Amino acid sequence: MIEGSCLCGAVRFTIDGGMSGIVTCHCSMCRKAAGGAAGAFFVAQRDEVTWQGEEYLTVYRSSPELERSFCSRCGAAMTGANLIAPDDTIILTANALDGDAPARVVAHEHAASKASWNDGNEKAPHFDGPFPGWETLRP
Ligand SMILES: [Zn+2]
Ligand SMILES: [Zn+2]
């Protein structure tokens, strides 16, 4: 069982089925919707997804033919850009996944739209806890 939830826990999904890969999208819309350097998405069979707290989902039409949704309490993105006229699949956010997932990132799309502020981020040091230098970052 694949499980996901928003930040506040009001919205949850469970998938009684599989997933085959995660794609990150670096386009400006996905970056803004995700609140990060990229959105991360996967495809599920619509009839294998069970929602809890679906009434907390707010749908936003980000393009004439596409809509996304997020939790109206905490703002967490829950679905990616899905066709308004739904087919048998649904794009869900990998950011919402709880625990491990039976798939890994297989592609990065719209790489040409990557945020310039993220250039070279792999060279920045990693900390297992909080960054100890926040005080040094005052402008
Ligand atoms: Zn929430
Ligand atoms: Zn995108």
* Tens digits of residue pLDDT in 26-64: 999 999 999 999 999 999 999 999 999 999 999 999 999
**Measured between alpha carbons, how far is 92 from 90 in angstroms, rounded to an integer?**
6
Distance in Å, CA 35 to ligand 2 centroid: 12
- 12-15 and 49-52 beta bridge pairing: antiparallel
Q: pTM for the full model?
A: 0.94
Distance in Å, CA 39 to ligand 2 centroid: 7
Question: Three-state DSSP class for 88?
Answer: coil
Please tell me the number of the ligand nearest to residue 8's CA.
1
Looking at residue 78, its pLDDT comes to 98
Q: Is CATH 1.10.3660.10 the right assignment for the domain spanning 2-114?
A: no
Segments of the chain scoring below 70 in pLDDT: none
In the chain, the amino acid numbered 29 is M
List the chain domain ranges: 2-114
Please tell me the number of the ligand nearest to residue 29's CA.
2
Please, what is the Cα angle at 124 between 119 and 125, to 5 degrees? 165
